[in-house]
Chain A
Amino acid sequence: MADNHKDLDTTGHQWDDDEGFPLQEYNNPLPKWWLNSFYATIIWAVVYWVLYPAWPLPDGFTPGTLGETMRGEYQKEMDEAKARQKVFNDKLEKLSLKDISKDNQLLQFSISGGKALFGDNCAPCHGPAGIGVKAGGFPTLADDDWLFGGDLDTIHESITSGRTGQMPAHLKAAGGNFSDSQVDDLTAYVLSLSGKSSDKAAITRGDALFHGEATCNSCHGDKGNGSLKGTVAGQPLPQIGAPNLTDAIWLYGGDPKVVRESIAKGRSGEMPAWGAGAKESGRKLSELDIKKLTIYVHSLGGGQ
């Protein structure tokens, strides 16, 4: 290196005493624009301390003159959403379910809202878009095979107050009154209703039990087509959600083994209540939310 170090600007700080080429600190000033931005950030920090919550104090913190808080922001966000939806929600609150479904704009609004509510609250059991979950006996909501009814008012009632279904056990070992072979006969008859069994002798014996000693017809109807559509001796059945046994749709599964298990050990299903006074069953939904859900479920494909 040449002797040009003498021309360089240094800080004046020198580490050694080398006469010819001392080790010293160059002074390379920072670019003006950089330095100015740096000073600007410092000034901004001071402005920020004044405007926003910043410094912790022994008994609190400096709140800032703008009064901004996370919770305040949140409340604003919620209020804005509420105001945006107010036009629709006000109408929804006043109108009956039938009138809502007639108004296309309100219908779309309810379906979008209902879809979000359904995804979180209902889909864990009924599956996404209500496709049902066989393993737990959670019914499909996207078909027109209903247990309690698929019209708007009935769906609304099911969501508000919940539903319970009780199928008693029939096998002696499980607390019922019938032997193994009798349960086999009943299974054969039930399967024959949807054309899935051809053991004629067993079907005949099962038929007699179904309409006789086992009194299956008192819930499932004389034709086995369920409490919703069926009749016993010409009279309508109590609405207890006994499934239709004559179609290809099964609540717990239509495999002979599963059907036999349903008859032998019985089944119990519970749909929790979501309406007022149903706190213990989880999160309570507002009447407005239930209305939206009703419209959504009704729109899934099976609404009547």
Chain B
Amino acid sequence: MQHSTIEKSIPLMAILTLIMVSIGGLVEIVPLFFIKSTIEKVEGMRPYTPLELKGRDIYIREGCYNCHSQMIRPFRDETERYGHYSLAAESMYDHPFQWGSKRTGPDLARIGGKYSNEWHRAHMQKPQNVVRESVMPAYPWLQENELKYDDIEKRMKVMSMVGVPYTDEQVANAKKDLPDQASSTADGAGLIKRYGKKVPKAEFDGKPEKLTELDALLAYLQMLGTLVDFSGQQTKAR
């Protein structure tokens, strides 16, 4: 084809440009959907419990990702501080993922279980009470605001639509499982049956009489990075 023919016809040039750009995109992106090693299989991953899901929404609402990443890179200076480097599978149920790229505060990918609920309460009330040199703002309203969860079933259904494998049973029991996780009196047998033994279950905000946003946020924080057991060598170097 003559070069001048292409140059003189805008529609033809547009179509040919599109084809060229698509080839680049297809070669780079499409294989990722099929390569097994993109998301290697690991044991222990489960979808978020209703309370954790709500807590995650609060994490996003308050913009925690602006200062905290959730991605431990495979470098010695990171793993010595934060623990085993993050695996793709660990954020397979995150929509959207919270990897982030800005670390004004520390990485939170494995914050779960690292500090007590008591510490987190004092810290959220006023971070400088426990970490003097901290520049983190205070979030005192979290332990005042009642947690609204009328929409939890809908929220979980939306997650199913984008690929989180919530079962019908999990969705149907969401309104019961959610308050159970933040209660020390409820036995939570159903919750444990549906989400496993590792579910952190406690009076997160220290207020048995009220289910607050802090309950949800702490439930989320206390499970972050705890699902995959790294004590055995589960990941091969590749």
| A69 and B74 alpha carbons, distance in the complex (Å) | 11
The B interface is mostly helix, strand or loop, or mixed, namely helix
Establish whether residues B4 and A13, one from each chain, have CB atoms under 8 Å apart when the complex forms. Answer: yes
Q: Cβ of B123: which chain A residues have Cβ within 8 Å of it?
A: 124
Interface of A is mostly: helix
Residue interface bits A264-298, CB-to-B below 8 A is 1, else 0: 00000010100000001111000000000000000
Is A282 a contact of B113 with CB atoms below 8 Å?
Answer: yes
A17 to chain B, nearest CB (A): 13
Interface string of B128-169 (1 = CB under 8 A from A): 011111000000000000000000000000000000000000
Q: Which of A74, A116, A133, A281 lies in contact with B74, CB distance below 8 A?
A: A74
With contacts A57-B31, A60-B35 taken as known, whether A128 is within 8 angstroms of B74 at the C-beta atoms is no
| B107 → chain A closest CB, angstroms | 11
In the bound assembly, the distance between CA atoms of A60 and B37 in angstroms comes to: 7
Number of A-B contacts (CB under 8 A): 81
Q: Is the CB of A61 within 8 A of B129?
A: no
* A61 adjacent to B235 (CB under 8 Å): no
Interface membership of B3, Cβ < 8 A: yes
Q: Please state if B113 and A136 are interface contacts (CB–CB under 8 Å).
A: no
Q: How far is the CB of A84 from chain B (nearest CB, A)?
A: 11
- B interface bracket (residues with beta carbon within 8 Å of A): 20 to 34
Asked if A124 and B130 sit within 8 Å, CB to CB, the answer is yes
B81 in contact (CB, < 8 A)? yes
**A78 and B76 form a contact (CB under 8 A):** yes
Most buried by B among A74, A120, A280, A281: A74
Closest to B111 in A: A282
Which residue of the partner chain A has the closest CB to B131?
A124
B99 in the interface, Cβ–Cβ < 8 Å? no
B114-A56 in contact (CB<8A): no
B residues within 8 A CB of A74? 74-76, 79, 85, 237
Q: A272 touches which one: B34, B116, B131, B133 (CB < 8 A)?
A: B116
Q: Across the interface, do B76 and A135 meet the contact criterion of CB distance under 8 Å? A: no
- Chain B residue nearest to A272 (CB atoms) is B116
Contact residues in A for B130 (Cβ distance below 8 Å): 124-125, 133, 135-136, 138
A124 contacts B119, CB within 8 Å? yes
21 CB < 8 A contacts A-B? A13-B4, A56-B31, A56-B35, A58-B34, A59-B35, A60-B36, A60-B37, A61-B35, A71-B235, A74-B76, A74-B85, A74-B237, A77-B76, A81-B76, A116-B80, A124-B131, A125-B119, A135-B129, A138-B130, A282-B113, A282-B115
Chain B residues at the A interface, C-beta cutoff of 8 Å: 3-4, 27-28, 31-32, 34-37, 74-76, 79-81, 83, 85, 113-116, 118-119, 122-123, 129-133, 235, 237-238
